[in-house]
Each structure stands twice: as structure tokens, then as C-alpha cells.
Amino acid sequence: MLFKQSWKLYTINYSTNLIPHILRCHNRARCSGPSEKWDLMAAVCVERHPVITKPKTELEEKVLDVLLQIESENSLKNDHELRAELETKQNELFKKGMEIDPDKVLTITAQDIEDAGEAELAKFPFASRITDADKENIKNSLERRLDKCLVLLVNQKVGTDTFWLPPQGLREDGESLRQTAERILQTTCGPAFSAKIYGNAPMGFYKYVYPKAVREKGSRGVKIFYYLAKYISGNLEDPVKYQWLDRKELGSILPKPVHRSVSMFLVPE
């Protein structure tokens, strides 16, 4: 009785002008036949986040100087500065010939501490921002472009051609797209490679139509759902060919349609 009442209320709300339109839509859907089949794939864009900060611009240097000056003017004196002031006063009293309490005479002066610190700093070798991988342009090394985000691309065969693409693969029956993405990372990159996928929902989407000879086998094309992941640790295993590329390099290596889709969710630098 409840379903009959609901259906009665539902049909009453339709105007007579809408009924012919509904019937036409129903006839078109019935005549068009079953919807075409699309293969589903999941792909993962793995990012290695910057290891060091970018060099400061001229404006950033000026702002930093102003902030440091404000902090210096508003801050309290530290123990070392108070000690240096005490030594200065003791030296002035000593020059005037006044007696100084032996218990207050410091055996190691503040200047001695500063000299020792400067000598230790001079011995410390600062690492270069330009690594050996940068100099030799080793694109499968994580030790390059330390101040930039790098995205993992692997050499994959699509049809009869090979392309540099994010790790991707077909969804299997019973899998969610997130499970497919995790499996693709495991099978493509190996068990030693670790990355964290963000969320259960894809970040991007791209589709293309198969050539006619492939379409005749049943599928019209493929729909690729992109996930974003953060690199954690490990390296890819041989014989996988791979590259770690920054945003500019991606534009020249990725196929243009794929690059447009990926750029929709990758944060520009």
C-alpha cells in the first residue's frame, strides 16, 4: 500500500506537458541499445617532495633582514650577551686599578667562546645545492632537484608504442579503484618501494578511444583515474625503466593530453 501511494503521489506531480517528453526519452534509450563498454584503469602520480628549501629571492632576503632586526630589537639578552657585558665591566674596573672579586673573574671569557665557535664553523663543510646527479643529469636518481617536487614516470607499453607515464594498470573484477592503484604500485615498483596514496577518491581523470581494430573486440576505449601519492622510501627494482621529473620536465616528456589532465591536480611550482 505504501509503494502504491508513493507512486500515485509521484505521478500526480507530473504535468501533462512532461509526459510526451519522458516517453520520447525512453524510446531513444531503448532504440540506442546497450551502452558501450569502457575499460577502467588506475594510475598513481607519486611525488617526491622537496628535500631543501628554494634559494630566497632578493625580496625575501630584504624581508628576512627586517624581521631579524625587529626580533633583535624586541628580544631579551641571552646568557652569553649578559656574560660579555659583565666581562666588559670587569675590564673597565681593572683598568681603573680597582680590586675585583677573584670569585667573579672568569677563566674562559665570552670572546674565547666566540673564537672557538667561529673556528669550529670554519671547519664545517657545507653541502652544495647542486648534487652529482644534477651535474650528470641522472634522471632516475632521487638525489636531483632537491628543492623541487619530482614525479615518478615509468616506461610502459601502450598498444605497439612505449610512453613515459605514471604507473598505471587495468582494474580487475572485484577491486575498487584504490585497491587497483595499490596493486599497480606494488607490481610496478616492487615491494621495497613505499608510497602513501592520498584518499580513496581519484584526483584526476583521462580517457581515450581505442583504434578501430581494438574497438571491434568489445571495448570502446579506456578511462584512467589518477591518484596522488607521496614518496616514502625505497627504490624501484630492475629491470623497470623510470625517471623522476620536475614540473617543467613533465611538460616535455608526458603526452600532451595526459599532461593536461595531470596538471589539473598537481600543484604548480
Give the model confidence (pLDDT) of 216-241 as tens digits. Answer: 888 999 999 999 999 999 999 888 99
Instruction: Assess whether 201 and 219 both reside in one domain.
Output: yes
Residue 30 pLDDT level (bands cut at 50, 70, 90)? very low
pLDDT of 2: 30
Task: Return d(Cα 13, Cα 205) in angstroms, integer.
Answer: 38
Instruction: Assess whether 70 and 89 both reside in one domain.
Output: yes
Residue 94 is assigned to a structural domain of this protein: yes
pLDDT reading at 13 higher than 80: no
Give residue 253's domain range.
38-51+146-264
Instruction: Assess whether 43 and 72 both reside in one domain.
Output: no
pLDDT of 102: 63
Q: Which of 1-5, 87-91, 96-100, 245-249 has the highest mean pLDDT?
A: 245-249
Strands (E), the chain: 37-48, 150-158, 161-165, 168-170, 194-197, 204-209, 219-233, 242-245
Query: Per the structure, how many domains does the chain have?
Result: 2
Residue matched to cell numbers 625575501: 60
Task: Return d(Cα 89, Cα 218) in angstroms, integer.
Answer: 93
pLDDT reading at 16 higher than 60: no
Instruction: Assess whether 80 and 165 both reside in one domain.
Output: no
CA distances to 11, 78, 105, 106, 116 from 110, rounded to whole Å, are 92, 12, 12, 9, 10
pLDDT reading at 147 higher than 70: yes
Closest CA to 242 of 185, 161, 172, 159: 185
pLDDT reading at 261 higher than 90: yes
Tell me the pairing of strands 37-48 and 168-170.
Answer: antiparallel
- Which segment of 18-32, 38-52, 147-161 scores lowest on mean pLDDT? 18-32
Q: Say what the pTM is.
A: 0.73
Residue 140 is assigned to a structural domain of this protein: no
Instruction: Assess whether 43 and 159 both reside in one domain.
Output: yes
Residue 16 is assigned to a structural domain of this protein: no
* Number of other CB atoms surrounding residue 97 within 10 Å: 6
Taking a C-beta distance cutoff of 8 angstroms, is the pair 211, 191 a contact? no
Residue 249 pLDDT level (bands cut at 50, 70, 90)? very high
